[in-house]
Amino acid sequence: DQQVKQNSPSLSVQEGRISILNCDYTNSMFDYFLWYKKYPAEGPTFLISISSIKDKNEDGRFTVFLNKSAKHLSLHIVPSQPGDSAVYFCAASDAGNNDMRFGAGTRLTVKP
Amino acid sequence: DGGITQSPKYLFRKEGQNVTLSCEQNLNHDAMYWYRQDPGQGLRLIYYSQIVNDFQKGDIAEGYSVSREKKESFPLTVTSAQKNPTAFYLCASSIVGGHLNQPQHFGDGTRLSIL
């Protein structure tokens, strides 16, 4: 059963515009959420995270929003750059139960 | 330069053969993990280890085995009991053993195919 879902397998955005990647989860025990970025032929690299006690975390062009009541988080990239083109994975963890789940990923393409 | 090294990058296995995927890290991390990625699916946890000489099964451990004799190394053996081994395998590590509120560092993966 997929406890973390990224319902959009792909997203295409023009350079300079905002990219919004979405992630939904079903397990209310998840208390820490992460986004990873993956280029072809490389492993995922950590991008940004958020604890369940916050609803927003910002790091430069990247902002993650968490809506606990909707069990939804999103990653905003502003402004989008061609180098942001990659697959983005959402992950959620329940440290108390030693559980971490990944979404299937969203492929972002930023067009020049 | 610290990091995680997975080898080989590509691996081919004949039916009925066991194969071992290597994972080495020089990040001094306590915890190490093995994931499997299939098309259209998220990463699924095979095994993880929080400390040397100890490891736990993940969601899809059947047909796989691991060892953790050294902190730096966490090899994964895909046995002949794994009926669908063709996949992309990722090894990861994190600072604190068993504490999932830490980002994981990933290797570049090994793609395993059946001949």
User: Helices marked H in chain B — which ranges?
Assistant: none
A60–chain B Cβ distance below 8 A for any pair: no
**What are phi and psi for residue B18, nearest 5 degrees?**
-90, 145
User: Helices marked H in B5-78 — which ranges?
Assistant: none
**Cβ–Cβ gap B42/A41 under 8 Å:** no
Q: How far apart are CA B44 and CA A63, in angstroms?
A: 26
Confidence at residue B98, expressed as pLDDT on a 0 to 100 scale:
45
**Beta-sheet strands, E only, within A1-112:** 4-5, 10-14, 19-25, 32-38, 45-51, 56-59, 62-67, 72-77, 86-94, 99-102, 106-111
Write out chain B residues lying below 8 Å of A31, CB-based. 101
Q: Please give, rounded to a whole number of angstroms, the shortest distance from the CA of A55 to a CA of chain B.
A: 16
Q: What is the tens place of the pLDDT at every residue in A21-39?
A: 999 999 999 999 999 999 9
Residues A106, A24 contacting (CB under 8 angstroms): no
What is the dihedral angle through the alpha carbons of B65, A94, A8, B85, rounded to the nearest 10 degrees?
Answer: 10
Q: What is the pLDDT along chain A (112 residues), one digit of tens a residue?
A: 679 999 999 999 999 999 999 999 999 999 999 999 999 888 899 999 999 999 999 999 999 999 999 999 999 999 999 999 999 999 998 877 667 889 999 999 999 9
Q: How far apart are CA A60 and CA A8, in angstroms?
A: 24
Provide the terminal-to-terminal Cα distance of chain B, rounded to the nearest Å: 36
Kindly report the number of other CB atoms within 10 A of residue B37's CB atom: 21
Average pLDDT over every residue of B94-109:
76
Q: Which of residues 2-41 of B touch A (CB under 8 A)?
A: 4, 6, 35, 40-41
Residues B90, B106 contacting (CB under 8 angstroms): yes
If phi over 0 gives left and psi between -120 and 50 gives alpha, with beta otherwise, what is residue A47?
A: alpha
Q: What is the tens place of the pLDDT at every residue in B43-63?
A: 899 999 988 999 999 989 999
Q: Which of residues 86-105 of B touch A (CB under 8 A)?
A: 90, 92, 98-101, 103-105
Mapped onto helix, strand or coil, the DSSP state of residue A101 is strand
Confidence at residue B115, expressed as pLDDT on a 0 to 100 scale:
82
Write out chain A residues lying below 8 Å of B2, CB-based. none
- The DSSP 8-state label assigned to residue B71 in this structure reads T
Q: Point out the residue among A31, A98, A104 whose CB comes nearest to the CB of B42.
A: A104
Average pLDDT over every residue of B91-100:
72
Contacts of B39 (CB under 8 A, 6+ apart): none
Closest residue of chain B to A40, computed from CA coordinates: B108
**Cβ–Cβ gap B35/A102 under 8 Å:** yes
If phi over 0 gives left and psi between -120 and 50 gives alpha, with beta otherwise, what is residue A44?
A: beta
Closest residue of chain A to B94, computed from CA coordinates: A46
Mapped onto helix, strand or coil, the DSSP state of residue A81 is coil
Q: Please give, rounded to a whole number of angstroms, the shortest distance from the CA of A102 to a CA of chain B.
A: 5
Closest Cα to residue A13, out of A99, A89, A107, A98? A107
